[in-house]
Amino acid sequence: MFNFNEDNFRKVTKGAVGLRGQIEEIGEKLTARGYKNLFLIGSGGSIAIMYPFEYMIKTTSTLPVYAEIAAEFVLYDHKQFGPDSLVILSSLSGTTKETVEAAKFCKDKGATTIGLVGELGTPLADLTDYTLVNYSENDTASDSIYLQLYLLIFKLLAARGEFPEYARFADELEAMPEVLLDVKRATEGPAEAFVNKYKDETYHMLIGSGSVWGETYSYAMCVLEEMQWIRTKSVHAAEFFHGTLELVERDTSMILMTGEDESRPLMERVERFARKYTDKLSIFDTKEYELKGISDQFRKYLSPLIIASLFERVSVQLEAQRNHPLSTRRYYRTVEY
């Protein structure tokens, strides 16, 4: 694959699922101690990765769950948050200012915290009560964090008696490094063709729903806008028909990120509309991938990970064909703000 290190990808993703023992031990300790609710906190791409799990918990469990943007969370008095809350925070660098401040805030309030980072000795790693560490670069970060969160979240649900299939699910997650490589290989050609066709496009609409909504929001903001400086609108499929549809014209680029959970009919509705009114429709559908070794009942949970992993191949092509490195920034961590 173009500009891709398969050995490094295997190392990172196997490292993530290799934390299973540690994660299960943490889950058992937390369950024995008890907690009343769960807060998922992050900034930018890190909060976007939390949104799918908020959705999955809401559709699988009675556990109260709140996905919160770090910078906002510390400024308002969330009445459900307190010393008996469990908090999961994520920052690959472990230095994201807003997330570190949120971790300090949670510690001061007496809540129990779990941090997901790429390196020990970083501010977030030093602040959290439990820390999961798996080194990763940006191109493998989402795969790594997703795999850790699947193990952690579903272990917590299993301990509540709400996900009895956990052991089999966790076993199948161990096959995900190779499954994701198959996904990337299958996406290589379509990604190159998509970027070759749309590399000069100045505006995209990205549509998603359910557990994939977080990735839709993230790819629009953190990749197309931040890393490629392309004007982009991310919109939830359930809300598309309440405003955004009026901007669709024949030359409007619409990108659909379609998963396999309960919200899929919302995406199918948008697709039917788009086929009538734009000539620039692109669909990336997780249902088109085999996912060898993964049970049908688990596919809906894995949709956001599949979307994130396949769009990494789109990003690589964007960087190359637009001659715009993904690392180029004008403002982010470059100027004071």
Domain of 229, CATH number, reads 3.40.50.10490
**Domain total of the chain:** 2
**DSSP assignment, residue 223?**
I
| Helix, coil or strand: residue 237 | coil
- Residue 97 Ramachandran class (φ > 0 left, ψ -120 to 50 alpha, else beta): alpha
pLDDT > 90? residue 228: yes
Tens of pLDDT along 150-195?
999 999 999 999 999 999 999 999 999 999 999 999 999 999 999 9
Domain edge (last residue) among 139, 173, 207: 173
> Measuring CA to CA, how many Å separate 253 from each of 198, 201, 216, 279?
8, 8, 15, 8
Report pLDDT for 224: 98
Report pLDDT for 294: 98
Q: What is the CA radius of gyration of the chain?
A: 19
pLDDT > 90? residue 59: yes
Q: How confident is the model at residue 337 (pLDDT cuts 50, 70, 90)?
A: confident
For the question of whether the overall pTM of this predicted structure is more than 0.95, the answer is yes
**DSSP assignment, residue 134?**
-
Q: Are residues 191 and 156 in the same domain?
A: no
> What single-letter amino acid sits at 263?
S
Q: Are residues 300 and 155 in the same domain?
A: no
Domain that residue 237 falls in: 177-321
Mean pLDDT of all residues in 16-42: 98
Query: Tokens for 56?
Result: 């999955």
**Longest alpha-carbon distance in the chain:** 57
pLDDT above 90: percentage of residues in the chain: 98
Domain edge (last residue) among 152, 173, 194: 173
pLDDT > 90? residue 137: no
